Amino acid sequence: MRFHGFFRSGAAWRCRIAFALKGVTPDFVPVHLRRGGGEQKTPAYRALNPQGLVPTLEVDGHALTQSLAILEWLEETIPEPAFLPKDPFERAEVRAFALVIAADIHPICNLRVLNHLKDPLGHSQDEVDAWYRHWNVLGLEALEAIAVRNAGKGRFVFGDTPGMAEICLAPQLGGARRFGVDLAAFPRLVEVEAACNALPAFANAVPGKQPDAEA
């Protein structure tokens, strides 16, 4: 198994947590998203991942892309510990929480969107940062409300075990913090993040601990 990622990528970060929870240790292939205009855009990498985005997981002759599809593949091939509850309604709730991040916040705040706002659209770095914070705050407000509603269930969002919701939440809060989002307005999410980071699978997946990490 070979995992193509970048230390600062939120989508790759999700996969690193998931691999650790499932006890999988793929070889790591760094893909630098800025060096030389972005290694994710090279023909060699696009042959694996036509979108030119990280992550990609090479396994048994397949190149799996999209972090949530990789999480679902892990869940189907290594059922325990489970990322999703058994009850279909509860599964839908956990997936919905994860999708607020993976489908609604992250895609409009990723590197290529931020770059496009600057060039060719001509926005300043301050305006780009304000864009990032705006869409993060909007999504995090909804997630905080969901997390508060479920707080009685345990120390994670939906109970006492972390799953797909937390795998998406922890990297999103990390990214938000990097862009200066004030997380004081999201106390329950920060509390869940602290519970996550008490686990080695989460603590060891942070960008600063990756082999390709930069200051």
Ligand X SMILES: N[C@@H](CCC(=O)N[C@@H](CS)C(=O)NCC(=O)O)C(=O)O
Nearest approach, Cβ of residue 12 and ligand X (Å): 6
Burial class (CB in 10 A: 0-12, 13-18, 19+), 67: buried
Instruction: Single out the segment in contact with ligand X by CB under 6 A; choices: 21-29, 49-57, 128-136, 189-197.
Output: 49-57
Nearest approach, Cβ of residue 5 and ligand X (Å): 9
Nearest approach, Cβ of residue 65 and ligand X (Å): 6
Please give the C-alpha separations between residue 20 and each of 54, 71, 74, 110, 199, in angstroms, as whole numbers.
18, 12, 11, 24, 10
**At how many degrees (to 10) do helices 125-149 and 111-118 cross?**
150
Strands 56-59, 27-30: pairing kind? unpaired
Span 112-141, contacts to ligand X by CB under 6 A: 112
Number of residues engaging ligand X in binding (CB under 6 A): 16
Residue 165 binds ligand X (CB under 6 A)? no
Residue number closest to ligand X, CB atom: 112
What is the C-alpha separation between 119 and 138, in angstroms, rounded? 25
Residue 205 binds ligand X (CB under 6 A)? no
Contact 192, 8 (CB under 8 A): no
Please give the C-alpha separations between residue 62 and each of 30, 41, 50, 58, in angstroms, as whole numbers.
18, 20, 13, 6
Nearer to ligand X, 45 or 156 (CB): 45
Nearest approach, Cβ of residue 174 and ligand X (Å): 11
What is the residue type of 105? I
Span 61-120, contacts to ligand X by CB under 6 A: 66-68, 102, 110-112
Span 27-46, contacts to ligand X by CB under 6 A: 33, 38, 40
Report the interface residues with ligand X, using CB under 6 A.
9-11, 33, 38, 40, 53-55, 66-68, 102, 110-112
